[in-house]
A and B are shown apart, each in its own frame.
Chain A
């Protein structure tokens, strides 16, 4: 047998040239940044523009005091990059950080403090919060410890899936919340491994994309508040205060205590892909966990504050994020950092796309001015590695910039369509004067995205931020007392309606109406053009007891209760069939906005609007009834969706179909289960061909297809 593949390649730079602090070293390579295993040692590389000196601090794994401090020799600096290869390190049993010395002069933006040990911004693994919720030892000087990570992983033939955007059904979920509840019955609740065990559930539901709330390392214990009613500790449960951008959260891995979170997360992604499900990460590049002047120094602040943060002329932190600081996203160095980070998640984790939290900030200049042509957004849009990933913007920020409909898109960026959410919510509860805008929203918001197509619009009614679907129909007002801020946190403009009683009730009529309203919402969402996004648990009526801001609630308020899969099986079935229905009807997923042009094949327009009378939609302010018919090619069904938010029933005259076709009933939310919905393909032909009675506050979906055989 010839020589084995595992035998190592010989390199002439695998030999030390210097000795520093008792360690044999040589000048490292500036690229790639971070800590990388090289023959015989580990290469460390870090950038700081203004540091006068840099020291590599090495700890034996878990020890409070360093085992070595190695100052970078001056000749190991290339430009503003310090790089050094250290030989003879056991890469698996060390933690490392940096001391950066330089000016401390906040007015000019510099906050160097060589007493602090700083995390490597490129650390691919972080130790210090290895198991979720374990109270950390805060007396330690160095809390979030960089570790060396092995990046090889056997992906087999896995690649990002490349599902066309128009075919996506996105499911927004929290890694921990999805299986932390004891009812989940998984081996390792609340982890990547736990989520992996629930892939069959996702597959059966029919979603083909999971969007994960932040998975970059954060510190769940950095919330000082407690629940005023129970005294329970509150957490940073959602994880929007990023500590380290390249490292997967250790506390989300059952193997985090062994430092294997990278492999566990990759395995989850690989298996999701095998099940046909893409992975989108919610990424937070607008701010960091370092806060403002009062916040902790973790990494950027001590390495190069003036580069990484937007600062006022007096050296204070701009606060466009509402959380204390703002990342200086359009600084050339920071742009590259963001790009490197996203490439890392695509190349090393096979992630399929990203949702950018408060993305309007990514379009601001160094002084906060919104840019017409933001270099960061352009760069991400055209990057070769990111070229086919999904890029989704939360197109607003906390500094008043609202760009829904005009986010700089470069033909690539989609947006969370906040206007879709607000319009459909208002219409559902029966507000007057909304029917016209509802029509625009369900047709893919051509008023906002005429040049970008329907897939620029991510349609959603609920997301992690705000009411769940069940709470949207059960509460008029938010109930956030458990968050410890006197119910002052969270949004007030929820456009919700409790259906007649605030919160849980025994009133069967109220409960029946709530169930119907949830079905109405799902029916509208899943027949709208654009990319639909569901909030995890909405399919089984998950409640947060009226709390619309559970960022801090690591408990039953937030967790997916798997008993509800059985208890609310009716809603789950409805959701599944709706998702399947969407998958079956291309015209609901068309990437172009409908124009009303005639489809020659069938003699019907691609879209037509109807009211009580066919072809006569009522756009008046008091109208709460509208029906839409979509017509595709000759081999496709015509899909008719009638929506009634009026509290009374209405007779519908159905538009005539081409010869040989007739109307078949797919769903009627006003009907008792199991007659509320059918399995797509088994729709039943209507008895009375030209008419249908739509009940109060109901949605009816019909398909026009070939007559059933006599």
Chain B
């Protein structure tokens, strides 16, 4: 499965909307897209609402981006992390490194509870 990436710029920073799977096949493209955005130095939000799966290589790519951003003093936020991806990230420790936008996840939990 492929990964579709769309950039959106607003006053607060840059949003990268990802759709699909982040795995060893697609993470190269993700990295190539994200690193220049990090270099721009504006706050970066990665919207994962439409990402169904993040593999081991995918998680590493996100962490590499985070480390690069940290190095450059740029804020990176993950947004819209699904319950399943969140669980995987939590169990494997990757979640501890990231700022995550809680709004989408909370809405998802509310839906599930109904």
Binding site for B on A (CB under 8 A): 1, 4-6, 90-93, 150, 152, 154, 187-188, 191-193, 196, 253-255, 258-260, 263-264, 266-267, 270-271
Inter-chain contact B56/A260, CB cutoff 8 Å: yes
User: Using Cβ atoms and an 8 Å threshold, which residues of chain A touch B71?
Assistant: 5
A-B contact sample (10 more), CB < 8 A, given A4-B68, A263-B93: A6-B64, A91-B24, A92-B56, A93-B23, A193-B90, A193-B91, A196-B91, A255-B88, A260-B56, A260-B59
Inter-chain contact A1/B72, CB cutoff 8 Å: yes
Inter-chain contact A5/B24, CB cutoff 8 Å: no
Inter-chain contact A267/B91, CB cutoff 8 Å: yes
User: Using Cβ atoms and an 8 Å threshold, which residues of chain A touch B92?
Assistant: 255, 260, 263-264, 267
B31 CB to nearest A CB, Å: 7
Give the residue of A90, A150, A188 whose beta carbon is less than 8 angstroms from that of B25: A90
User: Using Cβ atoms and an 8 Å threshold, which residues of chain A touch B68?
Assistant: 4-6
Tell me if B's interface is mostly helix, strand, loop or mixed: helix
Can you give 6 A-B contacts (C-beta < 8 A)? A4-B38, A6-B68, A255-B88, A258-B56, A258-B88, A267-B91
Closest A residue to B57 by CB, please name it. A92
Inter-chain contact A260/B93, CB cutoff 8 Å: no
Most B CB contacts (10 A, CB to CB) among A91, A152, A193 go to A193
Closest A residue to B40 by CB, please name it. A1
CB of B39 closer than 8 Å to a CB of A: yes
Interface size class of B (residues with CB under 8 A): 20 to 34
Residues 54-71 of B at the A interface (beta carbon under 8 Å) = 55-57, 59-60, 63-64, 67-68, 71
A168 CB to nearest B CB, Å: 25
Inter-chain contact B91/A266, CB cutoff 8 Å: no
Inter-chain contact B91/A4, CB cutoff 8 Å: no
User: Using Cβ atoms and an 8 Å threshold, which residues of chain A touch B39?
Assistant: 1, 4
A152 CB to nearest B CB, Å: 6
Closest A residue to B38 by CB, please name it. A4
Closest A residue to B25 by CB, please name it. A90
Inter-chain contact A150/B60, CB cutoff 8 Å: yes
User: Using Cβ atoms and an 8 Å threshold, which residues of chain A touch B57?
Assistant: 91-92, 150
Give the residue of B31, B55, B88 whose beta carbon is less than 8 angstroms from that of A92: B55
CB of B35 closer than 8 Å to a CB of A: yes
How far is B24's CA from A356's CA once the two chains are assembled, in angstroms? 37
Inter-chain contact B91/A6, CB cutoff 8 Å: no
Closest B residue to A269 by CB, please name it. B93
B2 CB to nearest A CB, Å: 13
Nearest 9 Cβ contacts at the A-B interface:
A267-B93, A92-B24, A263-B92, A193-B91, A264-B91, A6-B64, A254-B91, A255-B91, A260-B92
Inter-chain contact A90/B31, CB cutoff 8 Å: no
How far is B68's CA from A686's CA once the two chains are assembled, in angstroms? 65
User: Using Cβ atoms and an 8 Å threshold, which residues of chain A touch B67?
Assistant: 5
User: Using Cβ atoms and an 8 Å threshold, which residues of chain A touch B25?
Assistant: 90, 92-93
Closest A residue to B34 by CB, please name it. A6
Inter-chain contact B60/A260, CB cutoff 8 Å: no
How far is B93's CA from A637's CA once the two chains are assembled, in angstroms? 43
Inter-chain contact B23/A260, CB cutoff 8 Å: no
Closest A residue to B31 by CB, please name it. A6
Inter-chain contact B24/A263, CB cutoff 8 Å: no
User: Using Cβ atoms and an 8 Å threshold, which residues of chain B touch A270?
Assistant: 93
